[in-house]
Amino acid sequence: MKFIQSRFWWIILIVFLLIFPLVSSSLSFLNNATEILIDALFGVSLNLLIGYTGLLSLGHCAFFALGSYGTGILLREASISIPLALIGGAFLAAVVALAMGYLCTRLTKFYFAFLTLALSQIVYIVVVKWVSLTGGEQGLIGGIPHPPIRLLGFAFDISSRLHFYYFTVLLVCGSFILCKMIVDSPFGWLLRCMRENQARTQFVGVNVRRYQLGVFVIAGVFAAISGGLTALNLNGCYADHAQWLKGADPIFMILIGGMKTFAGPMVGAAALVCLNTFIGAYTRYSALILGAILIFLVAFARMGIVDFILLQWESLRRFAGKKVVPSVPPPG
C-alpha cells in the first residue's frame, strides 16, 4: 500500500510533466496536456466537496465561470498582471461561494444539490444578460491581453503554448499540493467524518456547517483558478461554462476516475479529454456515447478507475500474505 501511494509516483509524474515537452514536439499533445491539467484542477476542486465531504454540488460551474470571467475582465479592463487577475477571479469566486455556501449548507441531499444548481443558474443569467460586461451569450471573444508573467525569475509569455504549459504545470501542481495538504490535515479528516456520518460529527461537537462552508469556499477558489486558466488557454470566456451542463464535466471525471482517492479526478480528467477528442473525431453524437458510458459506469462499475486499481492491488497483497490496511472502502 505504501509503495503505490507513496510520494514516489507523484515525483515521477511531476518529472514527466516537466520533461515531456522537451522530448515530444507534438503541439496537440502539449495542448491536450494543458487542457487535462486545467480540467483536473476543476475535478479535484469538486471532489473536495463530493468525495471528501459528501456534498453533491451541481453548481460548481458557477465558480469556474466566475474565475474565467473575473480573470478575463480584469485583464481586459484593468492592466494588471496575470497572477493578480487570477487572484482577482479567485477572490470573486470566494465571495460568491461564501454567500452560496451559506444558503446551501442549511439543506441536505437533493435540496442542497438543487439549490447549488439554481444559484449557479443565477450566475449564468447574470453572465448572459450583463452584455456590456461579459459579452452576453457569445462571451468575451476577441482575445484577452496577456502581459508576460514574471515569476520565480522566469518570464512566461503566454502567447507561446510551451510557456503557457509550464505556467499551467506550475500553478496546477502548486494547487494540487495545497489541496493535498488541506485534505490530509485535521480539517480534511473532519470533512471525511462529516461525509460518513454528519449527525455523529455534530454530536461530537464539530460545527458541521462552518466546515462545510469552509470547504465550499476552498473548492470554489480552486475551481476559479481552473476557470481563469481556461480563459487564458482559450483566449476568451464563454457563457457556456456557467451552464449547469458544464458542471457535470467534473462529476464525470470524479465518477470515471474514482472519488475516494486524491488522484481519481486527475485520471478522470485525462480520460474525459481523451474520450472527447476520440469520440469527437468519429461521430457527432458524443453525448450519446458519453451518456452510455456514464450509465454503464453507474450501473456496473461505480468505483472508478483509481479506486478499482487500488482494490486490485490490495487483494493481490492480501493474496501474497502481506498485511493490508484498506484505503478504499469496499464497494457498496
Partner 1 sequence: MNISALFDCFTSFSGLAPQLTTSIVIAMILFLVASGLSLIFGVLNIANFAHGSVYAIGIYMTYTVVSATGSFLLALIVAPLCAGLVGFASERLLIRRIYEAPHLYQFLLTFGLLLVLDDLVRLIWGFSSKSIATPLIFQGPPLFLFGSPIPRYYVFIIAVGALVGLGLWLSLSKTKMGKLINAAASDPEMIEALGINVRLVYSLVFTMGAVLAGLAGFLASPLRSATPGMGFSIIIESFIIMVIGGVGSIGGALIASLMVGLLRSFGTIGFPDFELGFVFFLVIAVLVIRPWGIFGIPLE
Q: Smallest gap, in angstroms, from Cβ of residue 62 to partner 1?
A: 12
Residue by residue, DSSP assigns 172-199 as HHHHHHHHHHHHHSHHHHHHHHHHH-HH
Looking at 4, 181, 292, 316, which residue binds partner 1 (CB under 8 A)? 292
Q: Smallest gap, in angstroms, from Cβ of residue 58 to partner 1?
A: 7
**Among all chains, which residue has been given the C-alpha cell 480573470?**
71
Q: Does 200 bind partner 1 (CB under 8 A)?
A: no
Helix spans in 136-263 (H):
161-184, 186-196, 198-204, 208-234, 244-257
Looking at 58, 96, 232, 310, which residue binds partner 1 (CB under 8 A)? 58
Q: For the packed helices 244-257 and 27-47, what is the interaxial angle rounded to 10 degrees? A: 90
Contacts for 101 with CB less than 8 Å, ≥ 6 apart? 212, 213, 216, 217, 220
Task: Give the separation between CA 314 and CA 294, rounded to whole angstroms.
Answer: 26
Looking at 125, 133, 177, 316, which residue binds partner 1 (CB under 8 A)? 125
Q: Does 99 bind partner 1 (CB under 8 A)?
A: no
Q: Smallest gap, in angstroms, from Cβ of residue 307 to partner 1?
A: 14
Q: Which residue's CB is nearer to partner 1, number 37 or number 58? A: 58
Task: List the x/- string, 9-28, binding to partner 1 by CB under 8 A.
Answer: --------------------
Task: Give the separation between CA 101 and CA 234, rounded to whole angstroms.
Answer: 29
Cell of 261: 482517492
Q: Smallest gap, in angstroms, from Cβ of residue 95 to partner 1?
A: 17
Looking at 118, 173, 275, 279, which residue binds partner 1 (CB under 8 A)? 118
Q: Which residue's CB is nearer to partner 1, number 4 or number 107? A: 107
Looking at 115, 144, 231, 306, which residue binds partner 1 (CB under 8 A)? 115
Burial class of residue 76 in the structure, from the number of CB atoms within 10 Å of its CB (0-12 exposed, 13-18 middle, 19+ buried): middle
Task: Give the separation between CA 209 and CA 108, rounded to whole angstroms.
Answer: 11
Q: What count of Cα atoms within 13 Å lies in the side-chain half-sphere of residue 58? A: 16
Tell me which stretch binds partner 1 (CB under 8 A): 18-26, 38-46, 85-93, 279-287.
Answer: 279-287
Looking at 66, 74, 90, 117, which residue binds partner 1 (CB under 8 A)? 117
Tell me which stretch binds partner 1 (CB under 8 A): 88-96, 174-182, 240-248, 265-273.
Answer: 240-248
Cell of 302: 461505480
| Residue count, binding to partner 1 (CB under 8 A) | 40
Looking at 61, 190, 224, 251, which residue binds partner 1 (CB under 8 A)? 251
Contacts for 157 with CB less than 8 Å, ≥ 6 apart? 146, 148, 149, 163
Q: Smallest gap, in angstroms, from Cβ of residue 104 to partner 1?
A: 9
Q: Given the rule CB under 8 A, which residues bind partner 1?
A: 50, 56, 58, 103, 106-111, 113-115, 117-119, 121-122, 125, 129, 244-245, 248, 251, 255, 284-288, 290-295, 297-299, 302
